[in-house]
A and B are shown apart, each in its own frame.
Chain A
Amino acid sequence: MTAPAASAPAAAAAPAAPALAGRRIDWIPLALVVALAAAALPLTGSGPTWLTLTVAGLAMGMMIFIMASGLTLVFGLMDVMNFAHGAFITVGAYAAASILIALKGSMQEASVAANLAAMVPAALAAIALAGALGWFFERVVIRPVYGDHLKQILVTMGGLIVCEQLIHVVWGPDIIPLPRPASFTGAITLGDAAIERYRLLAVAVGLAVFAGMWLVLNRTRLGLLIRAGVENTEMVESLGYRIRRLFVGVFVAGSGLAGLGGVMWAMYQESVNAQMGMQVMVVIFIVIIIGGLGSVGGCFVGALLVGLLANYTGYVAPKLALGSNILLMVLVLLWRPRGLYPVGKG
């Protein structure tokens, strides 16, 4: 090849401060979260109540985000509609429950270190088992139905039902009570507001997961590949990358995160049952549609909106609570038909 060493003078003379340069973050959806919280303040009637509801909403949103983030990437990367995502949530919760029950002693001690000594292995087991199930699922159930949404819906729904029944076989049909660890039981008071400790933990874990995902997606070559793959799978392959391998990795990681979300959700509800994954899937789908299919940032903002709105309406207008998420989705899609942060698919 002729050495392209001679740099052209035209290039050197190019202006250095372009109008287009620099990343632009669309702050409007984020402002919507703040606006929703601000609008709820006068409606709730008192500051402490508002604070309690806001933290509860943020905690709920964070847990939904952890469960939903993998699904939105799976859809964005490979156009796969995976209704069995709920199974990973449930399996994660059951795996963790088995460990937490075995380590009951540690859970009952009023020491954060002792509690974490039980919770961390439980969370790791949930991530590992849900990730392994995700790997198996991708190979056996998803792979034969790439590119066919109808079949994907049918086989993944079937897979979800099979998983639920297998859970009955392994863990039994009864609801398993799952008490929260002693250190994260009860509430702390800020002025007149009571804030549950566990919800603060959920917010912290959710933020950590979001920060981790953000760093991976925006600061690593792997993240660059994932973002490019979400936009245009074919072009990523044309650049020499085996997108299928990348997809399997993202699928397993997303399943693992669903497992982690399952543990968080189970401890939030203080029980585990085989239908918990399916029950939460409706909200998860609403969140990833609101956020924009394939967008992790959109999923995060969508989950916060859903969590906050569910808590505010549950208090202010309980009759509206059931339909509030659907109403939110309708309004968002009327405003931005492809979600808060649309991701182009080439």
Chain B
Amino acid sequence: MTEPLLALAGVHTHIGQYHILQGVDFAVPRGGLTMLLGRNGAGKTTCLRTIMGLWRASRGSVRYDGRDVTQLGTPELARLGIAYVPENMGIFAGLTVRENLVLAARERRLDDARLDWIFGFFPALRTFFSGFAGNLSGGQKQMLAIARAIVEPRALLLVDEPTKGLAPAIVASLIEAFRELKRTDTTILVVEQNFHFARSLGDSVAVMDSGRIVHAGAMAAFAADEPLQTRLLGLSLEAHQ
């Protein structure tokens, strides 16, 4: 069995006086898309931020591509090939779409072929390429946030609730974009509440509750097990659509 690209072992994270992650153990296999599900407040965002080094694990270890990265800072993790799309998208509103993308390109120039590929599933970004990112709609901002994360090839993509607050049509276009992304060898970890989105894309799934992983396995098996969904998430995923 090949070593997972990312593995968390006994990870604890404190935010101020709050003990949020209480021993998280899970692995993200190379390639494919892993969904991290769970109720509100389960610790999903904290988990992603801890992986990205934005909050420091107080105990436990994070291994990425065979090395311990628990103590590395966010810029170093990014340079190792991890891209992050936060829940609030983190768009630079005062910069143009182009400038947002240029900033993410560490090669210091935008690759035209790759840009065309991205515009293929996010055509609005081509349309508003020279416009201020702050003027984009919510869905377009999410597209930009994802485009910025993949403007150059990255090994691991962390995405926090990409469908939050978006209209169904936009969600459908995001699903198409992620399908396209899955054809590359980028490994993707997505925190999500929208089950339709999760089931459409997820190869594997991990479910969090109260700061711990309470289930991990294949998405197909989890999607078929309604009682398990109800027990872990409080409602069946069908009802969550």
Contacts and interface: CB of A to CB of B under 8 A. Distances in A.
Interface of A: 1-8, 10-11, 13-16, 18, 20-24, 221, 224-225, 227-228, 231-232, 234-243, 343-344, 346
B103 interface: yes
A274 to B, nearest CB: 39
Given A2-B183, A14-B127, A239-B104, A234 B90 contact: yes
29 contacts: A1-B153, A3-B113, A4-B118, A5-B117, A6-B117, A6-B120, A7-B116, A8-B117, A8-B120, A8-B123, A11-B120, A14-B119, A18-B130, A20-B136, A22-B130, A23-B96, A227-B94, A227-B95, A228-B103, A231-B95, A234-B90, A235-B92, A236-B103, A237-B73, A238-B78, A238-B83, A238-B90, A239-B78, A242-B73
Given A7-B116, A7-B117, A21 B90 contact: no
Given A1-B186, A22-B131, A343-B94, A240 B106 contact: yes
A85 B62 CA distance: 41
A242 B78 CA distance: 10
Interface string B102-131: 111010100001101111110110111111
A243 B123 CA distance: 32
Contacts, number: 124
Given A4-B113, A235-B86, A239-B103, A18 B120 contact: no
A7 B113 contact: yes
B104 to A, nearest CB: 5
A289 B163 CA distance: 37
Contacts of B93: 231, 344
B200 interface: no
Contacts of A225: 103
A20 B132 CA distance: 7
Given A240-B78, A344-B94, A18 B131 contact: yes
Contact of A20 (B78, B102, B128): B128
Interface residues of B, number: 49
B135 A2 contact: no
Contacts of B185: 1-2
Contacts of B78: 237-240
B164 to A, nearest CB: 16
A344 B88 CA distance: 13
A24 B132 contact: yes
Given A20-B136, A224-B102, A15 B127 contact: yes
Contacts of A343: 94
Nearest to A16: B127
B74 interface: yes
Given A11-B120, A20-B132, A21-B128, A237 B75 contact: yes
A21 B129 contact: yes
A8 B180 CA distance: 12
Contact of B94 (A14, A231, A234): A231
B135 A20 contact: yes
Interface in B26-82: 52, 54, 73-75, 78-79
Contact of B132 (A16, A23, A232, A238): A23
A13 B120 CA distance: 10
Nearest to A228: B92
B99 interface: yes
A11 B113 contact: no
A1 B129 CA distance: 25
A227 B92 contact: yes
> Taking each of B95, B102, B114, B123, which has the highest tally of chain A beta carbons within 10 Å of its own beta carbon?
B123
A237 B102 CA distance: 15
Contacts of A24: 132
B103 A224 contact: yes
B84 interface: yes
A217 B88 CA distance: 25
B58 to A, nearest CB: 18
